[in-house]
Amino acid sequence: MDQQTTKQWAFFRRKHTRLFLVLLSALMLYMGTASLMNFQTRSLLGIGSGFAWMATNFVPNQASLSLLPAILYQLWRTFLIGISAATCAGVVAFLLALMGARNIGCRVTLVRVVIRGFASVLRNVPIVAWAMILLFSFKQNDLTGFLALFVMNLGFLIRAFIETIEDFDGDKVLALKATGATYGQIVVQAVLPEVSVPIVEWLLYMIENNIRDATLVGLLTGTGIGFLFDLYYKGLQYGAAGLVVLVIAILVIGIELSASKIGRVIA
């Protein structure tokens, strides 16, 4: 073997060894945690009967279909709250992200760090905790649900927007600066057109997420579709509860599909 092939062989052997080690450690991680939790891999076999019970009981029946108008009404309200929370958070997040982005943001490092930290705190407190905290202050109503989603969205979007804006090429800012453009002009005429597509995509993703989360939030705050689910579930109306889940899934999938369409239109 000449030197070239030896080198090649060694390179690929290193790659294969690394892949093998990664797979091995994943397996060991599973076995380790499973044994710590006393989790028997065999018990996965019992999952089948659980699903069977679920399938027979949660399938919507005649009685639950009569509840459809009420369910759709609550779904509609939830949808609106999800949109308004995401868009309100989007506006605030965009302004904060402009200040927090390294390339065109505030030159004072402390300000940027504070904005990132603020976003991180909002994001890392679980939404359930936010709902509970806000519940004490604002009682059971739509506003509480809205605020819980808003706070979560704000934390998430600030970070997403900062990353989007930081992808923007600083030389383009330079090009407009060279024409004598002001900061506001550069933001609206250069940054905004370049980041509008990813920003709209993030917003749509947030709305989709909000409808899923609204179930959980509503459960706690006693509003919207989550409240209905809770009501039916505790009232042993499993068929109706299943119907709630079904319409939520349909709505979320619908948004997901239209999101990619909308993305293409504005691109």
Q: Is 169 in the site for another protein (CB under 8 A)?
A: yes
| CB distance 158 to 118 below 8 Å | yes
DSSP 8-state assignment for residue 187: I
Would residue 157 be called left, alpha or beta, if left means φ above 0 and alpha means ψ between -120 and 50 degrees? alpha
**CB within 8 Å of 201: residues ≥ 6 apart:** 259, 263
Q: How far is the CB of 193 from another protein (least distance, A)?
A: 5
Q: Is 103 in the site for another protein (CB under 8 A)?
A: no
CA 15 – CA 19 distance, rounded (Å) = 6
Q: How far is the CB of 109 from another protein (least distance, A)?
A: 19
Q: By C-beta, is 104 or 248 nearer to another protein?
A: 104
For another protein, what does the binding mask look like between residues 174 and 213, x meaning CB under 8 A?
xxxxxxxxx-xx-xxxx--xx-xx----------------
Q: Is 121 in the site for another protein (CB under 8 A)?
A: no
Q: By C-beta, is 110 or 178 nearer to another protein?
A: 178
Q: How far is the CB of 52 from another protein (least distance, A)?
A: 53
Q: By C-beta, is 186 or 225 nearer to another protein?
A: 186
Number of residues that bind another protein (CB under 8 A): 22
Q: By C-beta, is 22 or 175 nearer to another protein?
A: 175
DSSP 8-state assignment for residue 205: H
Q: How far is the CB of 265 from another protein (least distance, A)?
A: 13
Pick from 78, 202, 200: nearest CA to 148: 78
Residues found near another protein in the complex (CB under 8 A):
169, 171-172, 174-182, 184-185, 187-190, 193-194, 196-197
